[in-house]
Amino acid sequence: MTPHPFIHHQTTLEYFFVEGCFITEGWNTSADEAVSITRARVEPGVTTRWHRLRDVTERYLILEGRGRVEVGDGPPEDIGPEAVVLIPPETRQRITNRGDVDLIFLAICTPRFTLAGYEDVESG
């Protein structure tokens, strides 16, 4: 039986990303430019680097753990399971794991995430 071209069963192995978290790509393919879905894992006490995505809207869907998210110039917000964070294109962002266990969330990007669209803005 030939696999259906729109069903993806294999994810990448988890890898460390320069931003400061661990990434597992669930869905990120040029066959579907509209969206990518990634599992992110931030270890306790870690704050990711300030960064932004060019021309990409990102959403964090928090699955496990507790943290604090900072988006743009808005105030920091505490987040936990089932929280959804909307991050518009070109908006700086970072997330801190404030708990004792890993903070795990889905990062859903439209259009899909590519490394070319990632910009480190750690200096501010």
31-90: per-residue pLDDT in tens? 899 999 999 999 999 999 999 999 999 999 999 999 999 999 999 999 999 999 999 999
DSSP string, 33-91: TT-EEEEEEE-TT-BPPPEEETT-EEEEEEEES-EEEEETTSPPEEE-TT-EEEE-TT-
When computed from its CA atoms, the radius of gyration of the chain, rounded to whole angstroms, is: 15
Counting Cα atoms < 13 Å in the Cβ hemisphere of 100 gives 0
Percent share of the chain, pLDDT over 70 = 90
How high is the pLDDT of residue 8? 64
State mean pLDDT over 11-31.
91
Q: Does residue 91 carry a pLDDT above 70?
A: yes
| Contact by Cβ (8 Å): 95, 48 | yes
Domains of the chain (ranges; CATH) run 21-120 (2.60.120.10)
pLDDT digits (tens, 9 = 90+) for 103-116: 999 999 999 999 99
Burial of 113 (0-12, 13-18, 19+ CB in 10 A): buried
Q: Give the span between the Cα atoms of 53 and 37, in whole angstroms.
A: 15
* Total-model pTM: 0.91
12 pLDDT higher than 90: no
